Amino acid sequence: MSTTDTQAPAADQPEAAEEKPNFMRLFGRYLTEANSVMVTIYSLLLAFLIGAILLIVSDEYVRSTYTYFFARPQDALTASWYLVRDSYIALFEGAILNLNMLDRFAAGNAEFGDLLRPLSETLTYATPLIFTGLAVGLAFRAGLFNIGAQGQMIFGMLGALIIGFGLSLPAVIHLPLAIIAGAIAGAAFGAVPGLLKATTGAHEVISSIMLNNIAALFLVWAIGTDFLHSETKTDLITKPVDETAVMPKLLSGLSESLRVNWALPLGILAAVFTWWLLSRSTFGFRIRAVGFNEHASATAGMRIGSTYTTTMAVAGGLAGLAGAALSLGVGSAGLTTNTALEYGFDGITVALLGRANPGGIVAAALLFGALKAGALSAQPDVPVDISTLLQAIIVLFIAAPALVKAILHLRTPRGGLVTLEAKGW
């Protein structure tokens, strides 16, 4: 906020100031402009500011200090400051670096691996989000709003699980096969809304929302069947996948407690693949052309319907990989109805935050992973909902750049505000 306050007057300076652009002035102009980079940064800052206010309002003790605010304002202000500071430090420690652990490590009382634990958690939560974010982002570029990543991911989970425990193979074949099975299951489920749109014109938002429900309920039923249900446990949990199909941990050499596994590099690979697909391949050319202008694309001989179906299948495959990462990674001891969390839905916000660019999606997934890991480790001192809340506020601002522009009195950039939108919504 302080940055913007000092920069705001610069925006109002007369045009004469523009005559001699030096680096600092150009940089200042950039800071006060509602371009997509600055809107993203300001959205984050504003979200943490609003998060702070909500932390203060929701804390009973701090609230009580406000009852005598006019008698002793310093009580309320210090209490607020410490609450906000401690909460955000707790999030930071849970997500990136535990400062206590750093002290102990410096004193020789902790392993290097312990130091990496928060980061490992962040990356673990970020991994499925990379895949689901890509699944939504790719479809976005074809002008499709893929709400169905959750369902596609669930089918990916089941596909990977079935190969994971159903076959006995050496690890070099078993693991890749299980991953591919997850991708295929997700792709098949993802192709459905695309096919419905191509053949009947049914809107993919409606059909993919409904397919999410179908997938979630199918999962509950499937876990209970004899085929999938655990032979040793009575609660709703599936059989574990074979050792040969478990995603190996990435940093097991440092510490067994570091959960981050090889799904993360797979996710980065998927992001690189998606980038290549979109910006270099002929198929990506078609996706982008159809996404921008389906009429001109059809006139140029592109088949619109098959583009929709194929794009949704590839998107579903990416979401299916998220499911495979869960089945063969954190959920390898057995899937429950909880394993999927809301990674598919969060993928929508990740894709929005990343502006449907693979690089941006990876960055957004890391941010959301960090918020999740931080919130889970900081509870119960910090309400766990604060992470969800921050995510929501960030996306709200990103989706409404005009709001950020108005709040901070930013200038309109050349070419106008950039709003991400899917066709028809």
Partner 1 sequence: MRLELKGLTKKFGSFTADDDIDLVVEPGQIHAVLGENGAGKSTLMNMLYGILTPTSGEILIDGEPVSFSGPGDAIAAGIGMVHQHFKLVGPFSVADNVQLGREHTQRLGVLSAKAARKAVLDVSEEYGLKLDPDAICEDLPVGVQQRVEIVKALSGPKTELLILDEPTAVLTPAEITELLQIMRNLADAGTSILFISHKLKEVQAVADTVTVIRRGKVVAELEPTASEAEMASAMVGRAVTLQVDKTPAEPGEARLEVTGLTVVSDAGVKVLNGLDLTVHSGEIVGLAGVEGNGQTELARSILGLVKPDSGRIAIDGEDVHGASPAARIAAGLGYIPEDRGRDGVVAEFSVAENIVLNQYRDAPFAKRGAVNAGAVRKRAADSIAEFDIRTQSPEEPVSALSGGNAQKVIIAREFSRPRRFLVAAQPTRGVDVGASQFIHSRLVAERDTGTAVLLISSELDEIYALADRIAVIYNGQIVGEVAPDTPREVIGRLMVGGGIHDGAAAASPEEPGAPEPPAAEEAPEPPAADETSNDEDANGGDR
Which residues form the interface with partner 1 (CB under 8 A)? 276, 280-286, 288-289, 292-293, 295-303
Q: Are 335 and 123 a contacting pair, CB within 8 Å?
A: no
Nearer to partner 1, 299 or 338 (CB): 299
> In the complex, what is the shortest distance from the CB of residue 269 to partner 1, in angstroms, rounded to a whole number?
17
Q: What is the dihedral of CA 137, 142, 143, 148, to 10 degrees?
A: -50
Nearer to partner 1, 20 or 295 (CB): 295
Cite the DSSP H helix spans in 201-245: 204-224
> In the complex, what is the shortest distance from the CB of residue 360 to partner 1, in angstroms, rounded to a whole number?
18
User: Which amino acid belongs to residue 161?
Assistant: L
Q: How far apart are CA 277 and CA 412, in angstroms?
A: 32
> In the complex, what is the shortest distance from the CB of residue 277 to partner 1, in angstroms, rounded to a whole number?
9
- DSSP annotation of 68 reads G
Rg of the Cα trace of the chain? Answer: 24
User: Which amino acid belongs to residue 213?
Assistant: N
> In the complex, what is the shortest distance from the CB of residue 415 to partner 1, in angstroms, rounded to a whole number?
10
> In the complex, what is the shortest distance from the CB of residue 405 to partner 1, in angstroms, rounded to a whole number?
22
Backbone angles phi, psi at 35, to 5 degrees: -80, 170
Q: In the structure encoding, which two tokens stand for residue 308, read together?
A: 């929709």
Q: Which helix (H) or strand (E) holds 325?
A: helix 304-328
Nearer to partner 1, 142 or 404 (CB): 142
Q: How far apart are CA 289 and CA 194, in angstroms?
A: 17
User: Which amino acid belongs to residue 76?
Assistant: A
Q: How many CA atoms lie within 13 A of 154 on its CB side?
A: 25
Nearer to partner 1, 218 or 285 (CB): 285
Neighbours of 353 (CB within 10 A): 26
Output b/e per residue, 140-156; b: 16+ Cβ within 10 A: bbbbbbbbbbbbbbbbb
Handedness of CA 236, 242, 247, 253 (dihedral sign): positive
Nearer to partner 1, 167 or 298 (CB): 298
> In the complex, what is the shortest distance from the CB of residue 335 to partner 1, in angstroms, rounded to a whole number?
35
Nearer to partner 1, 303 or 409 (CB): 303
> In the complex, what is the shortest distance from the CB of residue 292 to partner 1, in angstroms, rounded to a whole number?
5
Nearer to partner 1, 155 or 308 (CB): 308
Nearer to partner 1, 293 or 412 (CB): 293
Burial class (CB in 10 A: 0-12, 13-18, 19+), 108: exposed
Nearest alpha carbon to residue 156 among 177, 133, 185: 185
> In the complex, what is the shortest distance from the CB of residue 137 to partner 1, in angstroms, rounded to a whole number?
17
> In the complex, what is the shortest distance from the CB of residue 47 to partner 1, in angstroms, rounded to a whole number?
30
Nearer to partner 1, 275 or 345 (CB): 275
> In the complex, what is the shortest distance from the CB of residue 304 to partner 1, in angstroms, rounded to a whole number?
10
Burial class (CB in 10 A: 0-12, 13-18, 19+), 89: middle
Nearer to partner 1, 238 or 297 (CB): 297
Neighbours of 13 (CB within 10 A): 11
